[in-house]
Each structure stands twice: as C-alpha cells, then as structure tokens.
C-alpha cells in the first residue's frame, strides 16, 4: 500500500477523487528554494479541463500550502499542499458501483483493497490525483529552471494526425509551455482538436503520444543498473494514469536501424564534448551524456466512454451491459502534458539531489 515516490526528494500522494481533499507531501527539499504560487497556478491551469474536449467537472484547484514554506521560500521541512474537492456528483457512481468499468481499475482495486476502497470517480486511482503532482512538479520545475534545466512536451500524435517534432528546443519548449492545447504546428492543432470533437460526438475517446525534451542536464546523472535515468523516468511516468508506453530516443525505431546508424558520434564543440546526433535521447549506459533527454509517452484512450460495454456485476456474478453516466474526458492527452512535465521534474530533481546533494538545487 505504497504511495511514496523518490529517494532523496520524495513525493507522497493522498486523497480520493470525491473525498474532501487531495494533496501531496514533498520531503527532502533544501531550504531557501523559491516557491512561486503564481507559477503553480499557471501549471494547474494547463491541467484543467477546457471546452468540449474535456470533462465538464471543473474544480477551482486553488493550492493551499500548509507547511514547509515561509515567506515564499522552502524551510527544508516537509511541504504539504492541499486541494479541496467541491464539484463532485457521487450519485453518478453509486448506481453502477458493482459493475466493473472496462479499462478502469475497478476490478483490480476490488481485488487489492477487498471492497473497502472509495469507488466514487475512481477514488485514489482517478486522474484527479494528478493535481497535486502538478503542484509539486511546479515547485521543482522552477528550481530546475534556475539551474538552466528546461522541460517541455507536446502532442506528437493523436490518431493518424502528427505534429512536427521538436526542432529549436529552446524556442519550442518556451512556446509549448504557454499553450493550453500543446501542439506546435497550428494546422496540426486544428486537425487534432477537430478529431477529438468528432470522437466525443460519437460517445468515444482518443489517446495519443506525447514527445518530451529536457535540456540543460549535466552529464553523469543516473546509475548503471537499477536506478538508470531511463528506469527512474519510466517508473515515474508509468505511475501516471493511462500511460501505457515510454520510449527513449529512437525507442522501438532502433529495430529498423544498424549500429552505424544508431550510434551517436562524439565531437568537441566550443570546448565541450557533444554528440553529432541524439538517437539515444541523451542517455548512455543509464547515465546522462549532457545532450537533451528525449522520450515519448503513449497515453491510452480515456476508458470512460458513452458507448454500451460488456462487463460483470460483482454483486450477482453475472454478465451485464454497462452504460456509464457522469462527466468524462473524451481526450486527456492535452491535459496529461503538464502531468508528464511535472513527473519528469520530480524524477530529475530527485536524481540530481542523489548525485550532487540536496543543496544543489
């Protein structure tokens, strides 16, 4: 029953989708790190639902920092951030509580928690719990930026529609981090948005692929085996609801390449060792090589759809048809972008603290 992530800087998540409050405790932060409440609000705004391609459940999501911060700076003691749940409609779930929703964690939660888990809105498994992840990540994103480390993600693919890839990393990261709908090419953004609306009108949902880039990381961060940069990032990313795949650099594309094509040649440029290409996504042997980290994350289609689905009734142990009600996202990938950025910041900040000490940030 573990809800803690990290080694040096840790994040503990708590709460349920329809409970009174949700939140996070961040421990291991050095004292004196700036906590910009307006930046936290900005990041939370990127996670909020917007328009018809998102759920109509809209919470204020005002962060309440109740410990660990004094006069705008971290004190070095645990930071506790709370969020209230106000806009809940729990009756939407009570009518179907014994029907296991396909694609959800209803059945697995029942097996693990023996029927005692809060089922409303998915309970502790809900994407609602990503709110405190974004708040915690916002603090660390700001701290990393002060060290020259920047993170950005965009929707690289949705259905058969593709956005352009990251090109000018500095400019593209700045651009995408200020977009509510994180697509770099305007025409691709319109097509993806229309595809989401069309699918929503059919009572169905879509997923997609996010491309993430991290710049400014020094070489030498990560361990050679179990705590590699890839494995720790994958650990954090796979903890995000609906994430079903992560690949680094060329990823599965390496299967189509020869060693002469896949290897990144080294050179000295402006007195610094760099690679001419970056097929390996900035990581060799599980350790950063100083080039930008590049990875892709697959987000599955939202499991809550308005089509009839086959399921089982756990109270009667009979097969039934399920027709869900309530407020659900036809697409979450545009909202998941900031969650991926936040989790990436949490992982990287933790690994930097392990490598250089907590005061490095």
Contacts of 121 (CB under 8 A, 6+ apart): 16, 17, 18, 88, 90, 93, 128
Helix or strand run (H / E) with residue 320: strand 318-322
Who has greater pLDDT, 95 or 280? 280
**pLDDT above 90 for 151:** yes
Mean pLDDT check: name the lowest of 58-67, 199-208, 234-243. 58-67
Question: For a pLDDT cut of 90, what percent of the chain falls above it?
Answer: 84
Give, in degrees to the nearest 5, the angle at Cα 139 between 44 and 251. Answer: 80
- What's the pLDDT at 50? 77
Who has greater pLDDT, 51 or 27? 27
- What's the pLDDT at 176? 97
Q: What is the mean pLDDT of residues 343-354?
A: 98
- What's the pLDDT at 86? 85
Strand, helix or coil at 228?
Answer: coil
The domains found in the chain, sorted by start residue, are: 4-360 (3.60.150.10)
Alpha carbon of residue 146 to chain centroid: 22
Q: What is the mean pLDDT of residues 328-349?
A: 94
Residue 246, token pair as written in the block: 């992560």
- Per-residue pLDDT tens over the stretch 1-36: 689 999 999 999 999 988 899 999 999 999 999 999
**DSSP state, residue 69:** E
Residue 85, token pair as written in the block: 């749940």
**pLDDT above 90 for 315:** yes
**Position 58 confidence tier, pLDDT thresholds 50, 70, 90:** low
- What's the pLDDT at 336? 96
Strand, helix or coil at 98?
Answer: coil
Over the chain, what is the mean pLDDT?
Answer: 94
- What's the pLDDT at 90? 62
Asked whether 351 and 147 are in contact (CB, 8 A), the reply is no
Is 59 exposed, middle or buried (CB count within 10 Å of its CB: 0-12, 13-18, 19+)? middle
For 36-44, the CB contacts below 8 A with 24+ separation are: 36/72, 36/138, 36/142, 37/63, 37/65, 39/138, 39/141, 39/142, 40/135, 40/138, 40/139, 42/138, 43/134, 43/135, 43/137, 43/138, 43/141, 43/338, 43/342, 44/131, 44/134, 44/135, 44/138
Strand, helix or coil at 95?
Answer: coil
Helix axes 130-145, 37-47, angle to 10 degrees: 130
**pLDDT above 80 for 93:** no
Distance CA 171, CA 78 (A): 35
- Per-residue pLDDT tens over the stretch 105-134: 999 999 999 999 989 888 899 989 999 999
Residue 44, token pair as written in the block: 């939370």
**Position 252 confidence tier, pLDDT thresholds 50, 70, 90:** very high
**pLDDT above 80 for 326:** no
**For the whole model, what pTM was predicted?**
0.95
């Amino acid at each position: 029953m573990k809800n803690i992530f990290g080694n040096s800087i840790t994040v503990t998540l708590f709460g349920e989708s329809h409970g009174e409050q949700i939140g996070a405790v961040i421990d291991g932060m050095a004292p004196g790190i700036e906590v910009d409440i307006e930046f936290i609000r900005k990041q939370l705004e990127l996670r909020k639902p917007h328009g018809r391609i998102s759920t109509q459940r809209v919470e204020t999501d005002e962060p309440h920092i109740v410990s660990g911060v004094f006069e705008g700076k971290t004190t070095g003691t645990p930071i506790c951030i709370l969020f209230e749940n106000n806009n809940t409609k729990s009756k939407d779930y009570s009518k179907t509580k014994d029907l296991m929703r396909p694609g959800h964690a209803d059945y697995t939660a029942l097996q693990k928690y023996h029927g005692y888990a809060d089922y409303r809105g998915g309970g502790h498994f809900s994407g609602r719990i990503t709110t405190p992840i974004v708040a915690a990540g916002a603090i660390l994103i700001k701290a990393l930026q002060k060290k020259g480390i920047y993170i950005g993600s965009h929707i690289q693919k949705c259905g058969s529609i593709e956005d352009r890839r990251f090109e000018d990393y500095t400019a593209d990261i700045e651009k995408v981090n200020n977009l509510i709908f994180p697509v770099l090419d305007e025409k691709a953004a319109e097509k993806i948005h229309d595809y989401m609306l069309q699918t929503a009108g059919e009572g169905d949902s879509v997923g997609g692929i996010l491309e993430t880039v991290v710049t400014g990381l020094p070489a030498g961060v990560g361990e050679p085996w179990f705590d590699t940069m890839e494995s720790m990032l994958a650990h954090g990313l796979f903890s995000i609801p609906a994430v079903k795949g992560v690949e680094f650099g060329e990823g599965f594309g390496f299967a189509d390449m020869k060693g002469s094509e896949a290897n990144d040649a080294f050179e000295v440029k402006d007195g610094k060792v760099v690679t001419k290409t970056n097929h390996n996504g900035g990581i060799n042997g599980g350790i950063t090589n100083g080039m930008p980290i590049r990875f892709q994350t697959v987000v599955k289609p939202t499991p809550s759809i308005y089509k009839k689905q086959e399921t089982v009734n756990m109270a009667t142990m009979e097969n039934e048809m399920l027709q869900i009600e309530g407020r659900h996202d036809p697409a979450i990938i545009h909202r998941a972008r900031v969650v991926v950025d936040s989790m990436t910041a949490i992982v990287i900040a933790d690994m930097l603290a392990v490598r250089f000490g907590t005061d490095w940030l």
